[in-house]
Amino acid sequence: MATTANNPAAAKSAASAERAHVTTVRMSIADIARFLQDNLGQRLTARITNINDPRQVGKWASGDSAPRQEAEDRLRAALQVFQLIQDAESLYTARAWMIGMNPQLEDEAPLTVIAEGRFKDVMVAARAYVDGG
């Protein structure tokens, strides 16, 4: 296995992943919900967290209520992956990547895989995408 020192592409994803992680842990859950709502919409953000009422996302985004821990974990994972792709590419690419079929995820959309709780699978696919693989 190549180390990041010997593989510039892997260094790119490692640097983007580190920045995405720092951004994610520093943001409040209300800010995370607001960011995802603004960039994916309420319905897709609700789908990530497995809730039936998309309006609940708006309540989280405004700080009127907080998600349960399982939903917060999914929101944070979604933001971290989104930020990784956005850091390396663009906002529009990150959105398209999150909602599109992904061959590394057996043609499932990354947001669907996050909803299933398979965060690591999505992060591996995101790093591979950033590294060009």
The string of pLDDT tens digits covering residues 31-78 is 999 999 999 999 999 999 999 999 999 999 999 999 999 999 999 999
Higher pLDDT, 18 or 38: 38
Query: Exposed (0-12), middle (13-18) or buried (19+): which is 9, by Cβ within 10 Å?
Result: middle
Integer Cα distance of 115 and 81 in angstroms: 13
Integer Cα distance of 116 and 110 in angstroms: 10
Higher pLDDT, 82 or 12: 82
Q: What pTM, to 2 d.p., does this model score?
A: 0.87
The Cα-based distances of 69 to 19, 29, 66, 73, 87 in angstroms read 23, 11, 9, 6, 26
Per-residue confidence (pLDDT) for residue 1, from 0 to 100: 43
Per-residue confidence (pLDDT) for residue 2, from 0 to 100: 44
What six digits make up the tokens of 62?
């405004």
